[in-house]
Amino acid sequence: EPLMEEYAIAAQVFKLSTCDMCEVARNSVLQCGISHE
């Protein structure tokens, strides 16, 4: 899946921890405006 590939590349380039990746993913969801329904 393309999005997972982007996250994997970002994690390697910026040496992100698992915690960092969780925060990036959470912020991405919050910014995209998806409703909880």
pLDDT given for residue 1 in this prediction: 85
Tell me the HSE value of 19 on the side-chain side, using a 13 A CA sphere. 0
Query: What is the distance of C-alpha 31 from the center of its chain?
Result: 11
The length of the chain is 37
Q: Return the amino acid letter for 4.
A: M
pLDDT given for residue 33 in this prediction: 84
pLDDT given for residue 35 in this prediction: 78
Residue 7 contacts residue 24 (beta carbons within 8 Å): yes
Q: Where are the domains of the chain?
A: 2-32
Residues 6+ apart with CB under 8 A from 5: none
Residue-wise pLDDT tens digits, 1-37: 888 899 999 999 999 999 999 999 899 989 998 877 6
Judge if pTM exceeds 0.85.
Answer: no
Which DSSP state fits 36?
A: -
